[in-house]
Structure formats: structure tokens, C-alpha cells
Structure 1
Amino acid sequence: MMERAMYYGKGDVFAYKTYVKPLLGVRKIPESNFSGRNNIVFGLNAKVSVGGKDFLPSFTKGDNSLIVATDSMKNFIQRHLASYQGSTIEGFLSYTAKAFLEKYPQMETVKIIGEDLPFETVSASSSAGLTESDLVFKRSLNEASKSMIEMVRTEGGTMIANHSSSIIKLQLIKVRGNSFVGFVRDEYTTLPEDSNRPLFVYLNISWKYENVIDSYGENPSLYVASEQVRDIAAFVFHETETPSIQNLIYLIGCRILERFPQLIEVMFESQNHTWDTVVDHSPDTLSKVYTEPRPPYGFQVFSVLREDLDKDKADENSLKSTPQGS
């Protein structure tokens, strides 16, 4: 028998809290200067969906006796932010999902997605000169973190069915040192090969922990911050002679797994938005003029697994142990 899709919920639940517990004590890595979040402004846009067989009559018979209004879900999320004592979106989503299942027995599954609404510091004056204001912040329209948790009811209580942490809307341009050659050429090919092109990529990067509790930030040394993942992506992009976006995201994924052994998978959704050349000056100068590319864009979806990193290390050790000239 085919399994039925059946859930409902509320989207665009905006919630802000000031002076959330700071995130301190994250493990430092070579690719990033990130050391923590002050969490003076903590904001998110949440989307919750709930499911369970007891909701079927509301669809088939119009019986709303077990329906929790989506407006109530909005209030539930916002008010639980007030009582949340942690320091991460992942921890808040888990806290709230469990509270939903404890409050409403007709709910069998709860899935909550939370997108960070980041605010950045601005400058302020002090006796020592310019410093960062602890009162005024500006809304950031740059990349943001995004998290998801899906919790289900069990006979013994609740369990995590799925989870992920992400950074979304990351856009990186590398102006040279990128190539794209050797691809299939046939009667449909109009793209020229390019041994030194600019490369403009859009990246959504997600990661999963071996132990989901590590994502809550209760032990900050095991928490992977989206800011660190962002910095690793930029660092690897800078140091790599990039033959393709496919290879770039693989190398980024391997570096993330190398830095954070508590992760088991890194997932990518990437897009190629490399600019079209308008004016190409003489070979004696690096200066060129570009414009936005035509609307069709290429994209890639790929997961880098812990076993990929282990295999690469094994291959590298095998090459080192092979006698010269063999």
C-alpha cells in the first residue's frame, strides 16, 4: 500500500531574542579566525510541519477536533525562544520540536527548519577610539546559516529521524586560476575551452554530525559553526588551481571533514554564475570587463562522505610507501 503524504504547518515564523547565551569555546581551525558569537541579537525565520495519522479526519471529513491551529504553532515557537537557554539555532530547534511532541500527543512527527537572520556589528566611538558597538547592529543580507531537525515519537519517548546544519547563499568569485578543459565536444558544443577563467560560484553547504547532540552547542568544542565552513570554502578556493566546480566542492568537503571528525557527511548544492567577457584587454594586463551571464546556469549536487576522506588518505599513504622507480 502506498504511503500517504500528510502534514501541515506554518512558515515564515519570525522570532528575535536579545542577549541569548553567547557561543564561546569553539575549536579554532587554521582556515578561520572565528572564535564565537556574542548572540546579542539572535534571530531566525522558522518553518514547522507536523504529521500523524490522527490528522487524517481533518483532510477527509473536515473534522478539526485534533487540529492545532498554525497560528498556535507560531506562538508556540516564539514563546519557546523566550525559555530557550542554549546558544545555537540547532539547539533551539531540537528543544522546540521535543516540546511540540510532549505537548500534543496527536503529533507523531515534527520537522522544523530555522534560517538565521544575521546582524553585523557597526562602529562606535570610545575613549580608546573606534570600537564595535554593543547597542547598534545592521541587518546582513549576505550568507546565512540554516538548520533542520526532524523528530518522531517512539514508544520510549522521542528520537531524531533526520538533521542537518547548513550555510546558504554563499557567493564566491575567484578572478583567475580556474580552468575548464577536456570536456566532451560534439555537434552541440559551443562553449570554448578556457585554461584561465574567472569562476563565480553560489554555494549551499550542509553537514551532518555523527552524534546530533554535538550540533546543539552544549559542548562548544564539538560544534561546527557556519562561519568556519564559509571560511574553509573560501580558503580552499584560494589555494586550489580549480579544474572544475565538481572538483572544487569535493576538495572543500574533504577539508571540512578533515577539520571536524565529528561530522559524517558534507552536502553541496552549487551553481556556476561565471561572468561573460565584454572587453578583453591585451595579454599584458589582467584587467577585463565582464557582465552577468545568460540566464541558464549549471548546477551540481554532491555529498562528500567520511569514507572519501579515509580513502584519499589511504591512497596518499600508499603512494608515499611505494619505492621510487617501482
Structure 2
Amino acid sequence: MTNDTNSECGSDRTMNYGKEKVAVYRTYATPLEDVRPIPESSFEGRDNTILGLDVRVQVDGEAFLPSFSEGDNSMVVATDSMKNFVLHQAGEYEGATVEGFLHFVGSEFLDTYSQMETVRISAEELPFDARPVPGDDGFESSDLVFRVSDNESAFGEFRLGRTEDGPLVEEQTSGVTGLELVKVKGSSFTGYVQDEYTTLPEREDRTLYISLDIFWTYDDPEDALGDEPQRYVPAEQVRDIAHVVFHEADSNSIQDLIYQIGLRVLERFPQLESVSFEANNRTWIRERDDLEGDAKVLREPPRPTGFQQFSMDRSDLEGEASR
């Protein structure tokens, strides 16, 4: 989510380095099973026949200062070695989730290299779709043949610090990124400021096209690992909540829509501490609306495009309940 290159080492100094775009693929990883069902989703688990990840690792520690200030690399772990370390650990990981893998690898970095004081490790899922093949009762999903997917993907990030008792989770974020959703009717945008700069007409009913990234944090970061599947929040279920709320809600803005999605996510998953969004408005422009019924001809919007960022926590859900 953050993927920032700045991490403080010491009181004021920014000093870190790492490796990114580490593509790692694991076949026949441990399946994710026994997740808690929710009304908005048919997702019950994944077989993890292919688990693909695009990993980013960032480390810091005072021991690395001489490499910057004196050209002394005696404490530096080469970023190529970091890449190999991540690839090796993909074969050692026995869990079933993106977050669990990241926590495992980050902890192994701290256990292996004492000069690393903190590790920030994140990953975007590289998703694959099983292809339909003929079966005994019609078409069914192949357990052998997959295609690279352009759909949304799961996201995870941990910042782990070193303590006497072992790695400590300092920050944790889960997410689902790259959702692209279009609702052909049932969305509006009215009542906004009208002044000499306003050229956008109000829309009582518009075709709304958004891209959306959703992120969440757990009250207990251990729940993010998936060791207790009933307390794990799958990206697929959060994605499906977004689909259902978009279908149900007659929203008057994207801001209104993402707030309603956030409330539903917090309601369904009491183990979550917060949820946040980044949305982008890609709504098509009406070229013709003189056709019969609801038919329209639309075109791509010009740049620039609008965006929305919003975060919320359990106090928002409690506030809604008290209304």
C-alpha cells in the first residue's frame, strides 16, 4: 500500500535499501480452507495450485551506514541475494495466504541477518484463472491449465521490527487492488457547489465507472496470517462485498459509495480495525442520450480524472448504529 522508499533509521536519518519486482511462483501451496462464509460472497477458499507474487523487500539498520558514508559493504546483503532468499523461502512456507508468506519471509530475514533492524515487505498477487474444460457434468475448472488474469489481486504488507523475543509486527496492511467496476444505472451526482468554474452538469442517473483499491488492518495482526482461517479476511470476500454494495446502493457520489462499502466490510469482519480506499473516477461521457429507454452511447472520459481517498474505523460503524 505504502511502498514508500523512506524509512527512518535512527532519530532523523532516512536510510534503507532493498529489492523490488521479485516475481515468485509456487505450485501446490497449502490450500486455504474453512474460511468463514458471508452473505455477499460464494468464496469458501482457494486451492493455491499456483500462488504467484510480486514481492518488494526494504531493510534498514544503523549497520548499513558505512556502505553509504564510506563505501564499506562489509555488512551489506546484496539485493540479488535478497531475491534468492525470497525465492528459497517460497519453498519453505507451509501456509496458505499472501500475508502469511510475507510475515514468514520477513521474520526469516531478521533471524538470518542480525544487521537488519527492520524489514518492510509487501506483495501484489499475480493472479491466475483456472480454465474451463469438459467434465462429466458439463464444463468444470481444470486443475492443470491456468491463464494469467488481468483481474484484481490481493495485497499484503508488513513492517517487522527486531525484539529480544523475536520479530514484532509494527505495521500490517492487507488489501485488494485493481477492481474496475461499471454500474450502468442507479448512480447520481447532484447537489455539489455551483459557481463560475462549474461546467459539469448534474446527473440524476449516470453510468458510473470506477477503479478501486481497498485496504484493511486487523485489530490483532496475527489474524492476517491465516493460521486461523475463521478469522482471516480473504481479498475475494472484500471484493465481493464491493460488488454487492455497488449493486444495491443508489449512491449520490463515489464518496458515498465507498463509505457504504466500508461500513459493510467493518460489519462483516469485527476482527478488523480499519478499512481505507483509493478510488478513481473513470465514468464515461454521454455522446448520445436520445435513444429509447435507458440506452445511451458513451465515450471514454478525457484527462484529468478525479480520485477519492478515505479511511474509516469501527467508530464510523458505531456512529451509524447510534443514529
TM-score normalised by L of structure 1: 0.94
* Amino acid in the other structure paired with 2:142: S
Query: 2: distance between equivalents of 1:183 and 1:131?
Result: 49
Query: 2: distance between equivalents of 1:276 and 1:257?
Result: 33
Query: 2: distance between equivalents of 1:136 and 1:152?
Result: 40
Query: 2: distance between equivalents of 1:128 and 1:313?
Result: 47
Partner of 2:7: none
Alignment partner of 1:199 out of 183, 208, 215: 208
The answer on 1:139 being equivalent to 2:154 is no
CA-CA distance at 1:129 after TM superposition: 3.6
CA-CA distance at 1:311 after TM superposition: 1.2
Partner of 1:118: 127
Partner-residue secondary structure (3-state), 2:322: helix
Query: 1: distance between equivalents of 2:109 and 2:201?
Result: 55
The answer on 1:281 being equivalent to 2:290 is yes
CA-CA distance at 1:273 after TM superposition: 0.6
Return closer, same or farther for 1:70/1:160 CA change in 2, 3 Å cut-off.
same
Query: 2: distance between equivalents of 1:185 and 1:215?
Result: 45
Alignment of 1:169-248 (within 5 A): 169-248=178-257
Alignment partner of 1:36 out of 37, 45, 61: 45
Partner-residue secondary structure (3-state), 1:24: coil
* Amino acid in the other structure paired with 2:274: E
Query: 1: distance between equivalents of 2:34 and 2:115?
Result: 40
* Amino acid in the other structure paired with 1:309: L
Partner of 1:69: 78
CA-CA distance at 1:125 after TM superposition: 2.5
Query: 2: distance between equivalents of 1:30 and 1:239?
Result: 13
Alignment partner of 1:148 out of 132, 157, 160: 157
Query: 1: distance between equivalents of 2:132 and 2:282?
Result: 33
| 1:201-232, Cα deviation, whole Å (9 max, x unpaired) | 11000000011111111111111111101110
Partner-residue secondary structure (3-state), 1:172: strand
* Amino acid in the other structure paired with 1:207: W
Q: Which runs of 5+ in 1 are unaligned?
A: 316-326
How many residues get paired? 314
Partner-residue secondary structure (3-state), 1:148: strand
The answer on 1:78 being equivalent to 2:87 is yes
Query: 2: distance between equivalents of 1:129 and 1:242?
Result: 39
Query: 2: distance between equivalents of 1:174 and 1:128?
Result: 33
CA-CA distance at 1:122 after TM superposition: 0.7
* Amino acid in the other structure paired with 2:314: R
- Higher Cα Rg, which structure: 1
CA-CA distance at 1:49 after TM superposition: 0.4
Query: 1: distance between equivalents of 2:133 and 2:246?
Result: 34
| 1:128-172, Cα deviation, whole Å (9 max, x unpaired) | 442211110111011111110110112332211101011001011
Aligned-pair identity in percent equals 49
The answer on 1:295 being equivalent to 2:303 is yes
* Amino acid in the other structure paired with 1:92: F
Query: 1: distance between equivalents of 2:115 and 2:11?
Result: 22
CA-CA distance at 1:2 after TM superposition: 6.3
* Amino acid in the other structure paired with 1:164: T
